[in-house]
Amino acid sequence: MKKTLAILLTLAMVLSVAACGAQPSETPDTPDSTQTQTQTKAPEATPAQGEAEPPVAAVEGLTDLNTYETKARELETWNIHYSQAAADLNVLCNLIDGLLTNDNHGNLKLNAAKSYESPDGGKTWVFTLNEGMTWFNKDGEVQADVLASDWATGLEWVLNYAKNDSYNVSMPAEMIAGANEYYEYTKELTESEGAEAVKALTADEGSKFAEMVGIEVDDDAGTITYTLVDQLPYFPSVATYNCLYPLSIDLIEELGVDGYRDVTWENMWYSGPYTISYYEYQNQKVFTKSPDYWNDANCKRFDTVTVKMVESASVAFQLFKNGELDHVSLDQATLQGIYNGTSDAELKENLVEARPTKYSYQIHLVYSKNLVDSEDPDTNWNTAVANENFRKSLYYGLDLTNYFARTNAINPLSCQNFVYTGNGVAFTSDGTDYTQLVLDELGLDYDYTKYARVDADKAAEYKAKAIEELTAKGVTFPVTIDYFISGSSDVAAQTAKVLEDIFATCLGSDYVVLKTNTYVSSLANEVRKPRKAAIYINGWGADFADPINFLGQETYNDSAAYYSNAYSNCNDNDDPDLIAAYQEFTDLVTAAKAITNDMDARYAAFAKAEACMLNHALVIPCSYEVGWELTKINNYSKVYSMYGMQAYRYVDWETSVTPYTTEQMNENAAAYAAE
């Protein structure tokens, strides 16, 4: 893994290739944008032969951290088992400890578990817990011991349809013996006997869950044993994610099932490095170092972490200049002003390029939408988007360079993304990134001097075919593409205008028109659930180290496929050609998923499935996110992984009381690469 991350680091330093976040703060949206031929970093000096590398100088660090999120990324739930959104999990990963976490190179690191092993090559995994772990309330008052059985209670909650709907089911259902059967059992029981009967189910010894699901717990020995459906060597990476997080039965008895479903920061139980001591919606949240934390001796923490909610990056920049924040990601105008010396020129020496995040962004097409102003189907769009030639005209025609520049004005083309799965998730036995297998299947090469996927001739050809075929079906042109942004964000409005111009310039306003609409406070409730949008630009990050993380979200007629059900609504469009394309892709995913004893063969099969999805343009890869920032945080000391939910754990961070210079951060990067 260290070799893997070193490769990614090299790319980040030389080309600034980035992976994108689940919900970008100012542009696309989430269920949570990049660089060209211009090289802005000064070449690093090489010591003379025989001369030692100069050590990185120690700096005085922060005791209290002040950071921020934009208001579009406000937390929506405090229930760690229910959430699938980065905005939630970035908070919750600090409040409850899972079995494993990651270090700053992405390697798996022990956390609640003090050891883990597989006695049979990957089909059975045994985790042994640390002693002395406790559950405590927001004031640090101990409520109960953390027990091995808490992991069974947590898994039962996730798999219980009446308790958790279908959130976070896909991973355990696919991997743990009997898990899918138990999920289906609770779903059928909910339909036949009602939700209340199913909510009463537990993970106690002798329960239906204990009988069916491959998990055994021993509270005396502190062991949790998972029996899987097959040999799955990547299973420990799942132990970093919330689908395998603990839950105390005592908390459920205290709050009730419905009470835990709607748990808050004030009545939840904590077991992690921080508690929440203050929270005001859309204002700020304050993390406070947990007293008597079980891992205090081995865990460097801030006294407090204050997360301010701001309207935009420009507001955050002013707070940074005022000394109220310890880092800030720079928007296009601010970055260009500093870099070109037209404003705040004194900060140019502090410009730092952010490390790639784990997220891969896509333009998600909606296959069954309603009209914006009614609940009637948008037949014109639904018919058009089901046409493969129409989709391919978008796929080959949209040059998104100017959109990328909204995040990285210095080197926008490094944002270009050609595949669905994120970089650095999985590697073949010879160290080849899985995404390269997909690129090979697609016949594409990265090219940082141009947008490599764009092909005007192909786009024109597909456009002509689409017009002919769709006109015969009664589609009228231009086809309106409804796109939604927050009505309170000026930056989002500016970015949407850039997108409108891209669609008009690249495809012609006689063919398509991107129409920007606004929502007031909730994309999910005002847009997604009533099916108002035609496209979303969303990012997805891996939850564990395997491509099924990504591809499993897009399969056809699959209740666990998040994007298929929550965004694209592909199951509700009855066009036979569209269904055939989705079924072809789904069958290939199913075949690849069945390969568990040869990881190279598994990845090769997944690459064929992913290429099939992209060749049919069922989704359109968009971007990776790598911006520029000013920061007092050594980015190379933070948890860093291309999967999971651990990257926002505020532990073991190195900081400075003054912003790092570009030179200092390059020294940190060099020291990191040498580790």
Residue 49 to residue 399: CA distance in whole angstroms? 46
Length of the chain: 675
Q: Which two tokens stand for residue 429?
A: 């036995």
Residue 33 to residue 414: CA distance in whole angstroms? 9
Residue ranges in the chain modelled with pLDDT below 50: 1-57
Phi, psi angle pair for 102, to nearest 5°: -125, 155
Q: What angle do CA 339, 343, 348 make, to 5 degrees?
A: 35
Per DSSP (E only), the strands in 178-252 are 215-218, 223-227
Q: How are beta strands 64-70 and 304-310 bridged, if at all?
A: parallel
pLDDT at 352: 94
pLDDT at 59: 58
Residue 78 to residue 283: CA distance in whole angstroms? 16
Measured CA to CA in angstroms, residue 216 lies from 102, 175, 222 at distances of 25, 15, 11
Residue 429: helix, strand or coil by DSSP?
Answer: coil
Q: Taken in order 223, 227, 231, 232, is the CA torsion positive or negative?
A: negative
E strand or H helix that includes residue 479: strand 479-486
* pTM (two decimals): 0.74
Per DSSP (E only), the strands in 236-359 are 274-280, 284-289, 304-310, 327-329, 352-353
Query: DSSP H helical segments within 93-178, as ranges?
Result: 149-159, 161-164, 170-175
pLDDT at 424: 84
Chain CA centroid to CA 411, Å: 23
With contact defined as beta carbons under 8 Å apart, do 198 and 204 qualify?
A: no
Residue type, 139: D
Sheet bearing 113-117, strands edge to edge: 113-117, 124-129, 223-227, 215-218
Predicted confidence (pLDDT) per residue in 43-72, tens digit: 232 233 333 333 444 557 999 999 999 998
Going by C-alpha positions, the residue among 574, 562, 573 that lies closest to residue 528 is 562
Q: Which two tokens stand for residue 584?
A: 């072809």
Phi, psi angle pair for 523, to nearest 5°: -60, -40
With contact defined as beta carbons under 8 Å apart, do 43 and 49 qualify?
A: no
pLDDT at 450: 81
